[in-house]
Amino acid sequence: MTNTTVIVPTYNRSHFIERCLLHFNYDETRFQIVIADGSGTEHGKRNQELVAELGGNLNIHYESYSSKVSFVERCHDAVRQVNTKFAAFHADDDFMYSSGIEAASLLMSDKPDVIAVQGMSAIVRKEDNNFRVMPYLYSPITQKSPIDRLAWHMRAYRPTFYSTHRKETLETALKQAILVRDLWPRFFELVLSALIIVQGKVEYVDNLYAIRESHLEATSQNDMNWASMAIDDNFSAVLTKSANCVAGLICQMDGMQDHAKAVTSSKKAFLEFVKIALVPSTRPFPRELVDQSWSVHDYFDSLSTSSKERNRLLNTFRLMM
């Protein structure tokens, strides 16, 4: 497991870093782990104490950044320093599993045209003394053309950032994303995801990959919803800036000379997403997403026969109590 580095960006959330480190210990994580911390003094000091207290059995490196450094600049610097072939981004409030990350890395080792991989994931929400489990679905994106991949991705959108990536393509995406780091937060997420997708195919492995907790702090802090963005006076400028950023990378990596065509295609893809965000019933559900939904439920149904898997999830649920 030495070909992958796990990067955990965090900002002023020491309570999540504590349980994240406990999770890595329970999961017996052997990857190199990087905590990319942009916290202020109080949380930064606490995070360093937690790494010293809980990181003894982990291959862990703590990196402190000024709170003035943007999220994308911090992530780009962390990836730039990675010396492994693959890098997995791990949200500080998620629970990603070594076996899933390893399966993702192995798939990319076998398929050079695949640049990012996700696996079986579920959203878990605590309700009183019970947990509600919902499948978190990812559609494989395997079209040959960058523009075709982008168009399909925005129609069946799922975030791609917290995946296992090829180090070089992830670094390229983050470097390009720095150009638009002042976008509306939700639009920035779309652009960063698009910059990943246009570089290569994205696949899915049928292994337990992550538990994502649904909680108040996981809700976007952006005051604007999609309806208010769509009628904002600056919407056209934001759309154009986003499309130009993505088109620049498409032309750079695909040798495409028609920049205007790439901009138009990128705009159409983003507008398709906005349409789906405003009218969710238009979102397509391909067969593989339906199959994933069943596979997640089947996994939880089969836990009674697999003590190792059951214990792993019980440890995760305890951390969410």
Domain edges within the chain: 1-92, 93-320
Average pLDDT, the chain: 90
Tokens of 255: 């040798």
Contact indicator for 142, 270 with CB cutoff of 8 Å: no
Q: Is the pLDDT of residue 182 over 60?
A: yes
What pLDDT score does 89 carry? 97
Model confidence over 228-246: pLDDT tens digits? 999 999 999 999 999 999 9
Mean pLDDT in residue range 151-174: 93
Model confidence at 159, pLDDT cuts 50, 70, 90, reads confident
What pLDDT score does 137 carry? 83
What pTM was computed for the model? 0.91
Model confidence at 126, pLDDT cuts 50, 70, 90, reads confident
Model confidence over 140-154: pLDDT tens digits? 999 999 999 999 999
259-278 and 146-155 helices, crossing angle to 10°? 10
Question: Above pLDDT 70, what percent of the chain?
Answer: 95
Question: Above pLDDT 90, what percent of the chain?
Answer: 67
Distance CA 297, CA 236 (A): 42
Topology, domain 1-92? Spore Coat Polysaccharide Biosynthesis Protein SpsA; Chain A (3.90.550)
What pLDDT score does 113 carry? 95
Contacts 24+ apart (CB under 8 A), 124-131: 124/211, 124/212, 124/213, 124/214, 124/317, 124/320, 125/213, 125/214, 125/215, 126/213, 126/215, 126/320, 126/321, 131/317, 131/320
Model confidence at 64, pLDDT cuts 50, 70, 90, reads very high
Q: Is the pLDDT of residue 131 over 60?
A: yes
Choose between 291 and 80: higher pLDDT.
Answer: 80
What pLDDT score does 306 carry? 66
Query: Of 76-80, 125-129, 251-255, 270-274, which has the strongest mean pLDDT?
Result: 76-80
Model confidence over 264-274: pLDDT tens digits? 999 999 999 99
What is the chain's percent helix, strand, coil content, to nearest 5?
A: 55, 20, 25
What pLDDT score does 130 carry? 80
Tokens of 189: 């997420």
Mean pLDDT in residue range 256-266: 88
What pLDDT score does 221 carry? 55
Q: Is the pLDDT of residue 5 over 70?
A: yes
Q: Distance of CA 115 to CAs 17, 82, 130, 252, Å? A: 28, 16, 37, 17
Q: Is the pLDDT of residue 252 over 90?
A: no
